[in-house]
Amino acid sequence: MGSFRRDSRLDALSLARRERPLIVIGITHPQTCLVLTGRLRALSESGFRVVLISSPGALLDETAEREGVEALPIPMRRGIAPLSDLISLFRLVQALFRLRPDIAEFSTPKAGLLGSVAGLLCGVPRRIYLLRGLRLETASGLTRWILHGTEQLAAACCHVVLCNSMSLRYQVLALRLAGEEKLRLLGQGSSNGVDVERFCPGPTDLKARLGIPVHAPVIGFVGRLTRDKGIPELVQAFGVLLKTAPQARLLLVGWYDESEDALSPALRAQIDQHPNIVSTGFVSDTAAYYRTMDMMVLPTRREGFPNVVLEAAASGIPVIATLATGSRDAVLPEVTGLLVPPGYPEAITEAMLQLLANPARRRLMGAAARKWVLERFRHTRIHELTVAMFEDLLEAGCQRPLHLPAREAAVAGD
């Protein structure tokens, strides 16, 4: 019952001077801090006071310090856990009641649900549900029914549902999770954009450090190593590829995530023991790894808007992604990369062979990919759109269904 003790950190936050409008940003797990880099600082430097809520972890504290915002740890379980969820909801209500934020934005499934309900109970005047993807797309049976209901509830508790991509917005409407009047999209999508100075083409000695032969073609993947990310299909497709390109290497930059879609022990063992697969584990700075790749493959079954595709594109390499929600928005087919149906390893193999056989085509796609990101997805541009949306929220007020002024509507469709 320690969750109900008076929180000295919360007391300090609630007593801070309210010279600036206060935004609470809530996520479930500190891992999500990886996609908040720059966004929090942009809000803070634009005149907002920002409090970041997440389950405790080193990444929470490191991100808050680096971004110049305040951190408030509140434990939240990622899976379904009714008693734990009630305790987390109580603590979120307690935090929002004391902080009295002007705006609350919650994202990721558990924080999105509990934070949105807490915001409604506390009467937070402007509430945003940032939808980063839909777990229900790969669920079935009772689990899918529960997830559908929780997504509807989170959306119903908020004034704005900020979708991460156009196809995700379409899916929300198709599944009747929220009304069209609540849905917003910044630019062409993405919640944070990409740092094009950090992720850029250039030399690297990483191949040698990873023990990869200098002339070996490298197919890369970046992200969580899970079923929903398509790792089983990728490993199967790579096994077939080796019959034609025996020197190829599969570079998996990511970690085995202990989630509902965790990989089987047998597949983990196959990855760890395969002589042509290099698995790095968690990497905090992935920029050099993209430069090692000849192409990146993201065989995902569901997404919101994959940041790793933008990072790869900014690094000047083509991407093979799937037609899944969110994923298909991150590639211009036949221009910046290739799109294949999700769940089909044969299609992945064919696409990889096409690009391996044509280095000139890879170079053209890589150059087009970087140009596309520079035009549409610079992190500074996405941050400007984000700040503009929050400023418009403050001006509009939310005691009725929110209709943002023309400024947001204009930037959303340019």
Query: pLDDT tens digit string along 73-131?
Result: 999 988 777 899 999 999 999 999 999 999 999 999 899 999 999 999 999 999 999 99
Contacting residues for 39 by C-beta, under 8 A, at least 6 apart: 191, 192, 379, 382, 383, 386
Asked whether residue 201 is assigned to any structural domain, the reply reads no
The 10 Å Cβ neighbour count of residue 383 is 21
pLDDT of 399 over the 70 cut:
no
Asked whether residue 276 is assigned to any structural domain, the reply reads yes
Tens-place pLDDT, residues 203-216? 999 999 999 999 99
End-to-end CA distance of the chain: 51
Average pLDDT on 20-24 reads: 94
Containing structural domain, residue 216: 206-376
CA distances (Å), 105 to each of 252, 352, 363, in order? 32, 39, 40
Give me the pLDDT at residue 368, please: 98
pLDDT of 180 over the 90 cut:
yes
Residue that the structure tokens 């959306």 belong to: 155
Mean pLDDT taken over the chain: 91
Give me the pLDDT at residue 54, please: 97
For residue 83, give the CATH number of its domain: 3.40.50.2000
If asked whether residues 37 and 63 sit together in one domain, one would say yes
Contacting residues for 309 by C-beta, under 8 A, at least 6 apart: 296, 298, 319, 321, 327, 330, 331, 337
Tens-place pLDDT, residues 220-254? 999 999 999 999 999 999 999 999 999 999 999 99
SS3 325: coil
CA-to-CA distance for 215 and 204, rounded, in angstroms? 14
135 contacts 28 by C-beta, under 8 angstroms: no
pLDDT of 319 over the 50 cut:
yes
If asked whether residues 371 and 231 sit together in one domain, one would say yes
Asked whether residue 51 is assigned to any structural domain, the reply reads yes
Parallel, antiparallel or unpaired: strands 249-253 and 218-222: parallel
70 contacts 78 by C-beta, under 8 angstroms: no
If asked whether residues 157 and 267 sit together in one domain, one would say no
Average pLDDT on 17-35 reads: 87
If asked whether residues 280 and 175 sit together in one domain, one would say no
Give me the pLDDT at residue 413, please: 38
If asked whether residues 102 and 15 sit together in one domain, one would say yes
Give me the pLDDT at residue 395, please: 86
If asked whether residues 401 and 312 sit together in one domain, one would say no
**DSSP string over 286-311:** -HHHHHH-SEEEE--S--S--HHHHH
Give me the pLDDT at residue 18, please: 55
SS3 328: helix
If asked whether residues 63 and 188 sit together in one domain, one would say yes
CA-to-CA distance for 390 and 256, rounded, in angstroms? 35
CA-to-CA distance for 190 and 193, rounded, in angstroms? 6
CA distances (Å), 251 to each of 105, 218, 221, 222, 294, in order? 35, 7, 6, 8, 11
What is the CA angle 384-409-169, rounded to 5?
A: 95
Average pLDDT on 389-410 reads: 60
pLDDT of 407 over the 60 cut:
no
Number of structural domains the chain divides into: 2
Query: In the chain, pLDDT over 90 holds for what percent of residues?
Result: 84
Asked whether residue 200 is assigned to any structural domain, the reply reads no
pLDDT of 403 over the 60 cut:
no
Lateral strand order in the sheet of 103-107: 70-73, 49-54, 22-26, 103-107, 127-131, 160-163, 183-185
pLDDT of 344 over the 50 cut:
yes
If asked whether residues 219 and 276 sit together in one domain, one would say yes
pLDDT of 411 over the 60 cut:
no
Tens-place pLDDT, residues 373-389? 999 999 999 999 999 99
Asked whether residue 101 is assigned to any structural domain, the reply reads yes
Single-letter amino acid code for the residue at 73: P
Confidence of residue 5 (pLDDT cuts 50, 70, 90): very low
If asked whether residues 322 and 400 sit together in one domain, one would say no
CA-to-CA distance for 140 and 72, rounded, in angstroms? 34
If asked whether residues 179 and 244 sit together in one domain, one would say no
pTM higher than 0.75: yes
Residue that the structure tokens 């109900």 belong to: 4
If asked whether residues 181 and 211 sit together in one domain, one would say no
Asked whether residue 198 is assigned to any structural domain, the reply reads no
pLDDT of 15 over the 90 cut:
no
The 10 Å Cβ neighbour count of residue 129 is 28
CA-to-CA distance for 7 and 84, rounded, in angstroms? 18
If asked whether residues 115 and 237 sit together in one domain, one would say no
Average pLDDT on 54-58 reads: 95
Asked whether residue 123 is assigned to any structural domain, the reply reads yes
**Cα atoms in the Cβ-side hemisphere of radius 13 Å centred on 402:** 27
Q: SS3 string of 191-210?
A: CCCECCCCCCCCCCCHHHHH
Tens-place pLDDT, residues 160-177? 999 999 999 999 999 999
CA-to-CA distance for 403 and 412, rounded, in angstroms? 13
Asked whether residue 265 is assigned to any structural domain, the reply reads yes
